[in-house]
Amino acid sequence: MTDTHADTEASLARSTERSLRIEEELAQDPGKFRILTGDRPTGNLHIGHLFGSLENRVRLARAGVETMVLIADYQVITDRDGVGPIRERVYSLLTDYLAAGLDPQQVTIFTHSALPELNQLMLPFLSLATDAELRRNPTVKSELDATQGRPMSGLMLTYPVHQAADILFCKANLVPVGKDQLPHLEQARVIARRFDERYGRADADHPVFPEPEALLSRSGTVLGLDGAKMSKSRHNTIELGFTADETAKLIKRAVTDSDRHITYEPETRPEVSNLVNIAALALGREPLDVAAELGDAGGGGLKKLVTEALNEYLAPLRARRVELAADQAYLEQVLRDGNERAREIAVQTLEEVRTAMQMRYY
Ligand code: TRP
């Protein structure tokens, strides 16, 4: 047990250090990288997504890194019985992406369901992962725990393999992730390596699949307004699509404490510090400075600042969101184009896979 823990710590330290080095390489030569990231369309994006990952994607794409963004629609059914209002959610996600600044001229946005060739990779890839490996994947374990005794479906057990197909179909070499997703990335690396060992190559000089690396996100996690993990089911999120009034009402109800002196101490004062952090992110300042300036402003003063800062910061994004949502034809075109581009890549990769596996018969 302790060994596993120590291993995890060591590998996290390695990934963190490696990520710093990759950031340097990115600044020098963005053309060396292809990024793949994605979200499942299970709900609306909130400020946790915006500050935690979306802004980072926008930054990297603008820096000239080729970026693929997957709306992981098939992944929705790993842990629930149906697809839900999938169409609305896919378009809501796409709208958030574009409103946040992802430019469809630079970034390829696509869905699983439009890429049969990506999904077909699941077959050879499943032959390269063992049952034991999948059962001890920490992310699968914790996601299973979160479903409270629901029986594990075959798809739930194997979704790290499907996620490896997401990354490898386009030969992405960089995946921006939170540390909770590191085990998936390791699985993808193992599959890339084993594919090369077992099935060989399409051309003698290169493995079909490069081993992707993690780019750990730099910003800490934004918590919900009650200080717990931000999640829709806890009603503690601020969605990007909320109005300024809705945002103000939610922040008014946020949890603080009785000490009027505002400080930034995430360990001991998580709720207050989280609000300070949100204000700091929206203002583009350091949390310690924001806290010092608030001084004895109390919970009320803190909430006033968070509300104003956040609403002002989100105003342009929200205005674009409303505009985009009114142009369904445009949104459909963006998705159609993205799917077409991604599919060309998937077709090409599957050809290489068939060649490597000697399954080209004519
Ligand atoms: N599992 C990710 C999430 O829940 C979404 C996802 C699907 C993903 N495929 C991916 C992320 C590939 C990175 C790489 O948010």
User: What residue spans define the domains of the chain?
Assistant: 3-221+328-356, 241-325
pTM above 0.75, yes or no: yes
d(C-alpha 14, C-alpha 4), whole Å: 15
| Strand partners of residue 108 | 68
For residue 39 and ligand 1, the question of a CB distance below 6 A is answered with yes
| Token pair recorded at residue 210 | 């490069």
For residue 112 and ligand 1, the question of a CB distance below 6 A is answered with no
Over 50: is that where the pLDDT of 2 sits? no
The dihedral sign for the CA sequence 56, 62, 63, 64 = positive
For residue 41 and ligand 1, the question of a CB distance below 6 A is answered with no
CB 132 within 8 A of CB 177: no
What distance in angstroms lies between residue 298's CA and the mean position of ligand 1's atoms? 39
CB 111 within 8 A of CB 340: no
| Token pair recorded at residue 37 | 């990231």
Over 90: is that where the pLDDT of 134 sits? yes
What distance in angstroms lies between residue 71's CA and the mean position of ligand 1's atoms? 9
Q: What is the pLDDT of residues 69-111, one digit of tens each?
A: 999 999 999 988 899 999 999 999 999 999 999 999 999 999 9
For residue 75 and ligand 1, the question of a CB distance below 6 A is answered with yes
d(C-alpha 97, C-alpha 93), whole Å: 6
Q: What is the pLDDT of residues 223-235, one digit of tens each?
A: 999 999 888 788 8
Residue range 145-159: mean pLDDT, rounded:
87
- Third-level CATH fold of 241-325: Tyrosyl-Transfer RNA Synthetase (1.10.240)
> Phi, psi (5° rounding) for residue 201?
-125, 160
Pairing of β 213-216 and β 174-177: parallel
For residue 166 and ligand 1, the question of a CB distance below 6 A is answered with yes
Over 90: is that where the pLDDT of 162 sits? yes
Of all protein residues, whose CA lies closest to atom 15 belonging to ligand 1?
39
d(C-alpha 93, C-alpha 252), whole Å: 27
Over 70: is that where the pLDDT of 342 sits? yes
Which CATH number describes the domain made up of 3-221+328-356? 3.40.50.620
| Strand partners of residue 214 | 175
Per-residue pLDDT at 179: 82
Q: What is the pLDDT of residues 42-63, one digit of tens each?
A: 999 999 999 999 999 999 999 9
| Strand partners of residue 174 | 35, 213
| Strand partners of residue 354 | none
